[in-house]
Structure formats: structure tokens, C-alpha cells
Structure 1
Amino acid sequence: MSDHTHGTHEVGEIPPANTGTIWRTFWILLGITVVEFTLAYLMKAGGLRTSFFIIMTLVKAFYIVGEFMHLKHEVKSLIWAIVIPIVFIIWLLTALLMEGGSIFELR
């Protein structure tokens, strides 16, 4: 019979946890969050602060999707098939908010 084990582990043996990657991800996300809150706390309220929050939130979201949903290990065409519609949705929301705000200027 052939041996169906993969790698160097015995049959039934649980491979060691990859906690280093998890901790690295934790520290990166914590660092981004600390920078986000520190700069947002020091900035005046307004469009620049809101834009900064949105950009930093998108950076964290893409990192989480890439790391925990394993998207960064997929083929590039799948990644682009997910990213391009998101970019167009963000563009659509921005255009709708800008046009929706202009209704008050016409009156």
C-alpha cells in the first residue's frame, strides 16, 4: 500500500499552528488602527478627515480579505474580478453623493 501522508507529519498527527502569521497580522492591523485614530484625533473635522477614515478602512478591509479569506493566494484574475467592481461601486457612491449634495445648491 502507498503512504498517503502529506509532509513530515504522521497519520493522525495535528500539524503545528501557524501562530506567527496570526500575530504578524494582528500587529499590522493594530498599527494601522493606531495611526488611523491618532491622525483622525489630531485632524479637524471635515472632508479630509472623513476621506482619511474611508481610505484607512479600505486598506484594513483589503488586508483582512487578503489574509483571512486567503485572497492574496488566489490567481490574479480572481483578485481583479473582485477589486474592479468594488472600485466602480466606490466611484458610483462618490458620484451619487456629489450629485445629491448639489440639489441644495440649486434652490
Structure 2
Amino acid sequence: MASHEHATEELHEIPAANTGIIWRTFWILAAITAFEFTLAYFMKPGGFRTSIFVIMTLVKAFYIVGEFMHLRHEVKSLIWAIAVPVIFVVWLLVALLNEGAAIFVDRW
């Protein structure tokens, strides 16, 4: 019974190094989000602002995946196997949006 109580006590302790990593991640994501809100407040709406938001959202998404899903510590081939299809999907979405908008262009 004593070993079970000892194991339970260890589960509740969080090492200080892990807490520092979590806070660092929080502050980085908070800074990027604050920058996004600042841009949203001061920039005029348009395609440039939207593209900045998309890029910053992808940066945050890759950072979250790398940090919380521990992808940053994996081998480079696994990272590329995940990142390259995402890049192609984003390219596909941009291409489809451009081609879809062509339907409204007066071609006559």
C-alpha cells in the first residue's frame, strides 16, 4: 500500500522546467495574438490584412502542433511528411478561390 501512495504523490508534482516551458509558450502565443488584434484594429480591411492573418494563424498552428503535440522533437522526415501536404492544401484552396472568382468576371 505504501508504494501506491508514493506513486500517487508523484503524479501531482509538476517539475519547474515544464512550468517554464508552458509559460513561455503562453507568452509567445499571447504576443502573436496581441499583434493580430492590433493589426485588426489599425489596418484597413482588405486582401493584404487577410493574408497577414492567414499567415499568422498558420504560424500559431505550427507552433502549437510543434509544442503541444511534440512534433518539434520528431525526426525531420516526419515533420516534412506533415508540412508538405498542408502547404499543398493551402495552395489548392487559394487556386480554387481564384478560379471560383473567375466566374464573376465579365468575359463577353
* TM-score for the superposition, normalised by structure 1: 0.85
CA shift digits 1:75-100 (9 cap, x unpaired): 00000000000000000000000000
* TM-score for the superposition, normalised by structure 2: 0.84
Aligned to 2:98: 98
Q: Distance in 2 between matches of 1:33 and 1:72?
A: 21
List gaps (5 residues or longer) in structure 1.
1-10
- Give the total of aligned pairs: 97
CA shift digits 1:18-45 (9 cap, x unpaired): 1000000000000000011101211101
List gaps (5 residues or longer) in structure 2.
1-5
Q: List structure 1 segments (4+ residues) > 4 angstroms apart after TM superposition.
A: none
Q: Identity of aligned pairs, percent? A: 70
Q: Distance in 1 between matches of 2:36 and 2:14?
A: 34
Q: As a proportion of its length, which structure holds more helix? A: 2
Q: Distance in 2 between matches of 1:88 and 1:46?
A: 24
Letter in 2 for 1:28: I
